[in-house]
């Protein structure tokens, strides 16, 4: 048992469920605000949200969540692909840069800790 090498878990993972959900929600909101998307097509997410307030036959949150998910997914799939790609690139773009420490003018001790306390 001690002879086997330890296996490390991968540290780089894709977006999680909630990150993907937030990204999808932002995408729908951006597409709803885009004038190039058909107003008729924008009725899909609106209709799925209206379904929440209209009494339905099947009680419970599962069917409501399914209708909202389905409305958002169909809306994104029916939007022009080049517009969806444009918004996805804008939301997931990585801004290149480098870390730079700013001098505050306060003296620091040699260990890199906080400045000495005045007595």
Q: Percentage of residues in the chain with pLDDT exceeding 70?
A: 69
The 10s digit of each residue's pLDDT in 22-46 is 889 999 999 999 999 999 999 999 9
Give the domain range for residue 44: 36-92
43 part of a folded domain? yes
* Cα–Cα distance list, 99 to 26, 60, 96, 102, 114 (Å): 28, 49, 10, 10, 20
Asked if residue 82 belongs to a domain, the reply is yes
pLDDT tens for 51-79 read: 877 766 666 677 778 888 899 999 999 99
Identify whether 26 is part of a domain: no
Q: Is residue 58 part of a domain?
A: yes
Judge whether 111 lies within some domain: no
pLDDT of residue 26: 93
- What is the pTM assigned to this prediction? 0.59
113 in a structural domain: no
């Amino acid at each position: 048992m001690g002879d086997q090498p330890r296996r490390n878990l991968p540290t780089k993972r894709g977006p999680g469920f909630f990150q993907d959900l937030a990204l999808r929600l932002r995408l729908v909101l951006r597409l709803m605000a885009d004038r190039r998307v058909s107003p008729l097509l924008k009725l899909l997410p609106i209709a799925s949200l209206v379904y929440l307030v209209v009494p339905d036959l099947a009680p419970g949150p599962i069917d409501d969540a399914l209708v909202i998910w389905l409305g958002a997914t169909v809306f994104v799939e029916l939007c022009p692909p080049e517009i969806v790609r444009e918004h996805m690139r804008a939301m997931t773009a990585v801004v290149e840069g480098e870390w730079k420490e700013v001098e505050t003018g306060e003296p620091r001790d040699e260990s890199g800790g906080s400045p000495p306390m005045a007595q």
